[in-house]
Structure 1
Amino acid sequence: MLNLRLTLESFLFAWDALKSNLLRTILSLLGVTVGIFAIIAVFTIVDSLEANVRSSLDFVGDKIIYVQKWPFEFGSDFPWWKYFQRPVPTPREYQQLRQQLGPNNKGIAIFAANSGNTLKSGSNSVSDCVLQGVSYDFRVVSNVPIKEGRYFTNQEMDAARPVAIIGATIAENLFPNGNALGRQFKARGQNFTVIGVMEKEGKKLITISSNDANCIIPFPMFMKMFALSTTGFGGGPSASIAVKGRDQDEGLLDLEYEMRGVMRNIRGLKPREDDNFALNRPEMIASAVGKLFSVIGLVGGVIGSFAILVGGFGIANIMFVSVRERTNIIGIQKSLGAKNFFILFQFLFEAVFLCLIGGAAGIALVWLVTLIPQDALPLTMSAARVMLGLLISVAIGIIAGIVPAVLAANLDPVIAIRAK
């Protein structure tokens, strides 16, 4: 109980000292405020950037294995010449893979895309659209967020019917009066009927994944309009195959092992020959993104730490001045029975409070910045970053105040009382 009372009194002494020197307190706060603002702003931007990139990559799906020509590899030593001569997946391979794969998958799809298309409906048109041909199970391996209408039927797929699911931007431009369902538009000389409209996604940092300017059509119709490339270089769009794994297949190891065996059999590879295809997973991209932003966050933290270091030196300097000014009071307190830890806590509390108030001000400034509307990169400050900022403030306060507090606690009361 006595310790609690002494601690409370230390708090009150520190608070009175801060109020009695208001101008000095405010000036001391500025260094910590700028430092915390810098470091939390950097982390907030990095977090928001990473979240935006990961959100933009949602189109690659979860628990998916892609059959493609090029592997998801990153680095300066990428052996591109090794993969240059590989063939791209074909519709025939898709059909064989679909027939030969066992029960380890929930769905398999083939898809291809062609960009830079202009769609027209009457006097309205929209350019730079993506025509994407997909098979029936595409909605299993990828997200197709339909807001109005429906998805394709098996009959529409098999018969290569000219039906389409369009993005929000296409719907707004071709049919400005609304009610796009059942309406027709023309793409590359072919008339299409709208059977579905996707939800609006808005701007993303990586816009390649946005559905807003995407027009999805049955894959057989897509093949009528475009000649698929067999090399992946020129001559038309190239196809990719995606297989959705089951939840009970941890790490998709069973599915990957089965797919590798089936694909090697389809392509007639001998046991000693290397794979001439890549089995890619979205986790490879996620892992690379995580490593990249870890490095960016580390660099940003180091840069921000210099700013907080300057603020810490400012607090330490003020605390030394405060000890010198209150030496006489410290002597009186000790002569009246104040223990060393009471004096120590008094100055430590003062340093920590200074840093906490400055840190809270810096966090508040970052929060105000996040309120500014941003289309491409909306900023969000997490509770974890708020706690980090406060913890850093406490740590800086302890580090900056410990030496002055120890000096004050160890003053001889007789000498301290005589100090002027």
Structure 2
Amino acid sequence: MLALRLTYESFRFAWQALRSNLLRTTLSLLGVTIGIFSIIAVFTLVDSLERNIKDSLSFVGKDVIYVQKWPWVFENNFPWWKYFQRPSPNMEEYRYLQNNLENAAYIGILDGRGGVNLKNGNNSLEAEVQGIVYDFNQITEVPVAQGRYFTPQEIEAARNVAIIGAEIAETLFPGSDPVGKEFKIKGIRFLVVGVQEKKGKSTFDFGGSPDTKCYIPYMTFSKMFQTRYSNPSLVLKGRESDAGLLQLESEITGLLRTRRGLRPSQDDSFSLNRPEAALKAISGVFGALTVGGWIIGGFSLLVGGFGIANIMFVSVKERTNLIGIQKSLGAKNSFIL
């Protein structure tokens, strides 16, 4: 019982000391709280940004290789002028790889144009129009909520059919089912065969929001938009048996070098881009941000620690006489708070 009474008295004295110096108590709590909150806030922000960016890159697909003119990740002092001279992938190379590749499960070609005006009567909006081939849905999912996906015949015949995003459907066809109805792209009529699932807005949409995308057959797109400045991409999905897609990557390199007539001494005139490389670069950036977060949080705790140390010094200095009386009466260190 004596121990309980001493403990109670000890906490009562401490509580009275805190109440008698309310401003000092508040400042001490703020010093600790702000330091801890700074660390939590910085790391929460960094983790949230990294997760959102990685989620926004999901459009590139899984186990895929993109054959493009430009690399996604540039090294230091890269010869950018050489990339300008590279030819862009084209339909002939797509057909060539389609007929000769053995390690690809699916192969596609796509191209896009942003800021295209879509119109239906008095309703219009600007959206991204992408030309795709039939196997594109096997490489990167195109989730169709209403209607259907393209048929092989529609792709090969370059018909004027389209799969539109949810926001496009709501804008061009408010309050009605858009499937089976027509709208115009650059004055040309297109039939809506499908509407994609609504994704909603995201902080980062590096591939563009699916809600404002309009897919049409690639050959139809080529007739409407392709110029000598166009930059199509070949997209290839590897087989599950090809771990790391090493065989597919080697086969693509060999076939394209042969197709383009490159000599052994010449560098590749194309880039093989993989989502893993982009994610690795992003992880490196956020690794540096994490270190910065630790530094910011550490400074916050350090500043708060100095403030609390000064307050504790003043508190002990003021209570020196009281502590001396308590010690002379036999109070132990554990009693004096």
- TM-score, normalised by the number of residues in structure 2: 0.87
The count of corresponding residues between Structure 1 and Structure 2 is: 327
Matched with 2:119 is: 120
Q: Which residue type is aligned with residue 285 of structure 1? A: A
Quote the offset at 1:307 in angstroms.
1.7
Matched with 1:299 is: 292
Taking the TM superposition and a 5 Å limit, the aligned residue runs for 1:6-405 are 16=12, 19-20=15-16, 21-22=18-19, 23=22, 24-102=24-102, 104-126=103-125, 128-209=126-207, 210-229=209-228, 234=229, 237-321=230-314, 325=319, 327-328=323-324, 331=327, 343=334
Change (3 A) 1:139 1:321: same
Q: Which residue type is aligned with residue 115 of structure 1? A: G
Quote the offset at 1:322 in angstroms.
5.4
Change (3 A) 1:303 1:12: farther
Cα distance in 1, alignment partners of residues 254 and 199 from structure 2:
38
Q: Which residue type is aligned with residue 147 of structure 2? A: G
Cα distance in 2, alignment partners of residues 149 and 75 from structure 1:
44
Which moved further from structure 2: 243-252 or 77-86?
Answer: 243-252
Change (3 A) 1:89 1:329: farther
For the aligned residue pairs, the C-alpha RMSD in angstroms reads 2.7
Residue-by-residue CA offset, 1:189-240 (whole Å, 9 max, x unaligned): 22111111112233333444211211101112112222343xxxx3xx3210
Q: Which residue type is aligned with residue 184 of structure 1? A: E
Contact 1:145/1:198 (<8 A) preserved: yes
Q: Which residue type is aligned with residue 296 of structure 1? A: L
Please give the secondary structure, in 2, of the residue aligned with 1:86.
coil
Please give the secondary structure, in 2, of the residue aligned with 1:212.
helix
Residue-by-residue CA offset, 1:10-67 (whole Å, 9 max, x unaligned): 9978865653314243321011112222222222222222222222222122211111
Q: Which residue type is aligned with residue 118 of structure 1? A: N
Cα distance in 1, alignment partners of residues 286 and 7 from structure 2:
41
Cα distance in 2, alignment partners of residues 11 and 173 from structure 1:
71
Change (3 A) 1:274 1:158: same
Change (3 A) 1:329 1:314: farther
Cα distance in 2, alignment partners of residues 94 and 12 from structure 1:
82
- TM-score, normalised by the number of residues in structure 1: 0.71
- Unpaired stretches in structure 1, ≥5 consecutive residues: 1-5, 351-420
Quote the offset at 1:75 in angstroms.
4.7
Change (3 A) 1:158 1:38: same
Residue-by-residue CA offset, 1:93-143 (whole Å, 9 max, x unaligned): 0011111111x32211100011221111122222x2111100111112223
Residue-by-residue CA offset, 1:314-347 (whole Å, 9 max, x unaligned): 33334445556374487479x57x6xxx84xx89
Which moved further from structure 2: 304-313 or 214-223?
Answer: 304-313
Q: Which residue type is aligned with residue 42 of structure 1? A: V
Cα distance in 2, alignment partners of residues 310 and 13 from structure 1:
33
Q: Which residue type is aligned with residue 144 of structure 1? A: V
Contact 1:228/1:239 (<8 A) preserved: no
Change (3 A) 1:158 1:28: same
Q: Which residue type is aligned with residue 285 of structure 2? A: L
